[in-house]
Each structure stands twice: as C-alpha cells, then as structure tokens.
Amino acid sequence: MEIKNVGQLRKIIENLSDDFEIEMRIRRKLTDEELKNYRYPYPYDTEYLTLEFDDIGVSNKVLCLGVTSNE
C-alpha cells in the first residue's frame, strides 16, 4: 500500500501501541538471470533501512523523512 500523506499513515497506525518498532525495507525485483543463482525463487533482493526525521516544511505542508542503509 502506497502512503502519500500523513492522514493515510495515521489511519494505518492509529490503533497500534507505542512499543511497535518501525522497519524500513527496499525491495528490488531480481532479473531472471539473477534468479538462476538462487536456491529458492524469491524474486526480490531486500535491503533494510533506518527511518529518520529530516524536516517539516510548514509553508508547503511537507513532512520530510529520510532513510539510511543498514548495510
């Protein structure tokens, strides 16, 4: 599910307790050639990230979040 604004995010997390952790991932679809080298046919390479708060653009109503690779 693509999240485009704070309201959508709020609806998803409104009933979660504060002790839920946030896990960020980037999934890259593997090519058929890359899949030949895998023992199991999972079609994505996954990288884990750390979510960071960057800024709030009040004048243009933008919440800026960033990610840092954990690898």
pLDDT tens digits for range 30-69: 998 888 888 877 888 899 999 999 999 999 999 999 999 9
pTM greater than the 0.75 cutoff: no
pLDDT value at residue 40: 79
CA torsion angle 46 49 51 55 (round to 10)? -100
pLDDT value at residue 70: 84
pLDDT value at residue 35: 87
Find the mean pLDDT for residues 16-22.
Answer: 95
